[in-house]
Structure 1
């Protein structure tokens, strides 16, 4: 797990270690099913990154006993294609590779994916529940878990693996005492991640070009869900980074590099961007460095698909048991 070039004080943790552990759980879940789950991907753009993600998804599905179909359609046909898949009993899960229109029409498409097949957790009901800290579709019986967006959840699974989550504390409060920095407040990953971490008890500083926001459940975690406060004008990354024991960065620009001189000694650093946000010098101050999370994101997608199947069963929780371990964020 440690890089040969890293000093002894820093462990470079590759995401494959987390992915392999989660895949073992996924395989146990597959054993409870009568047939392989069928995931359908829709590609309606010429984005090389989207195609690469689709190919990566197909490869991971094939290697792990899932059925996968890539359906390439035009932008004019994507809406009806999604609607048809919603009612197709042979389709267990749907993933759409964005951007397509690169405007609010993409948000509309996210909302027409049936909630029972939305492996990405992007439909309004899932997003609303995530921000409101509602963890079940049926809060009274607590049998149907909400689906969380894949990349934010992958970050959380990595923090669990690193024992940042304190399993001695009650479920839902296991980040209490941690101060976490999230660089990039995109609506796709950055903001949802900050909200999820704060809902689990952390004090989160969310940094973006528009300023710095603080996500927190208040003193003593008295609030049931996170609140967001804008830091006073003039506060910068230099003011908050030294306070944080975990730094997570996802800036999509090649030119961006996190200023490692701002790191708290021994901080845990995670990069979820496709670009290298942390320079090599991060190893001089960090205790643990995770350079990428892509492999975990794909496995989380498979876990979400199993979760959807379990939700449809309602009374049969075997897939849930197989894909969740005691002490993780999703175990009760």
Structure 2
């Protein structure tokens, strides 16, 4: 058996076309073209490459993305100015902008109503409490972080169920292993999977935790786990790894369950080629769909603000 390799680019194109239809309707209704400001601290490297891809994706969706190079000393003031600038509808931060500790707090400076990445603690609180709408009537959906959301969409295209079966949430019979527990990817992803009913083993350098599914309660629960890497991988129907290190011990085919779905989110590959001989579906990258999800968040933010004119 050889795994199906799922290319995210055609899927991203479908979502960008959906966003373009939304944007076209807004513009035809008299609104100016939506605009995102991207702040970039590096002239070269992964962040600069990502910014270029994001610009192309947004342009394909009819959204103007202006990328500005900023010095570390300028970032906070530039975010503050963008927050109150009526000509800027969304803000996109390309890390690193300062240092690791300060980058963590920069996203808190972004007005959540302009946060196309969905990383502000306002949105994180709704996610972790499994509140899927921001209004009592359930008309306005909460914004989700774009990379974890992109992974969820790819898993659905890879064959994960999306609909409830009776009283069971869609992922009630799924076990997942997520390697990485960062606030950017691993933790919100584990929460999203568990809120849809999956049992999630979350592995990190600090140990293993289990996200218990939100079955019979409002949201997921978390507990320490004694599982090691071998046991977590052996149990998993889905394996997602996002470790940003060349030193990571690659996940081998003999470690995973036969027909598992595997997703590689890392800058440096986290999977050995032998995984292709055992997995059912392998997703080698997520980036194009992350861009599409960020673009998709912008019209939703405009609706949340009531700013469609």
**Fold conserved (TM > 0.5)?**
yes
**Residue in 2 aligned with 1:15?**
8
Alignment of 1:277-296 (within 5 A): 277-296=270-289
Check the 8 A contact 1:45/1:75 in 2, yes or no: no
Pick from 202, 206, 223: which aligns with 1:229? 223
For residue 75 of structure 1, report the CA deviation from its aligned partner: 1.6
SS at match of 1:105: helix
For residue 171 of structure 1, report the CA deviation from its aligned partner: 9.9
Pick from 162, 166, 176: which aligns with 1:166? 162
CA distance in 1, matches of 2:242, 2:54: 21
Pick from 273, 292, 296: which aligns with 1:303? 296
Check the 8 A contact 2:8/2:289 in 1, yes or no: yes
Pick from 103, 108, 111: which aligns with 2:108? 111
CA distance in 2, matches of 1:152, 1:259: 23
CA distance in 2, matches of 1:209, 1:172: 33
CA distance in 2, matches of 1:54, 1:181: 29
Pick from 142, 145, 156: which aligns with 1:146? 142
For normalisation by structure 2, the TM-score amounts to 0.92
SS at match of 2:39: strand
Q: Deviations over 1:216-236 (max 9, x none)?
A: 136xx112111111113xx31
For residue 123 of structure 1, report the CA deviation from its aligned partner: 1.4
**Residue in 1 aligned with 2:185?**
189
For normalisation by structure 1, the TM-score amounts to 0.86
Check the 8 A contact 2:61/2:295 in 1, yes or no: no
Number of equivalenced pairs: 303
Check the 8 A contact 2:75/2:97 in 1, yes or no: no
Pick from 124, 132, 136: which aligns with 2:133? 136
C-alpha RMSD over aligned residues: 2.0
CA distance in 2, matches of 1:109, 1:272: 23
Q: Deviations over 1:285-311 (max 9, x none)?
A: 111111111111111110011211121
SS at match of 1:116: helix
Alignment of 1:253-268 (within 5 A): 253-256=245-248, 257-268=250-261
CA distance in 2, matches of 1:171, 1:133: 17
- CA distance 1:47–1:231, shift in 2 (3 Å): farther
Check the 8 A contact 2:191/2:211 in 1, yes or no: yes
CA distance in 2, matches of 1:165, 1:87: 41
Task: Name structure 1 gaps, 5 residues minimum.
Answer: 1-6, 317-332
- CA distance 1:269–1:103, shift in 2 (3 Å): closer
Check the 8 A contact 2:17/2:60 in 1, yes or no: no
For residue 157 of structure 1, report the CA deviation from its aligned partner: 0.8
- CA distance 1:171–1:255, shift in 2 (3 Å): farther
Q: Deviations over 1:53-95 (max 9, x none)?
A: 1111112222332111112222222111111111111111001
**Residue in 2 aligned with 1:65?**
62
Alignment of 1:62-101 (within 5 A): 62-101=59-98
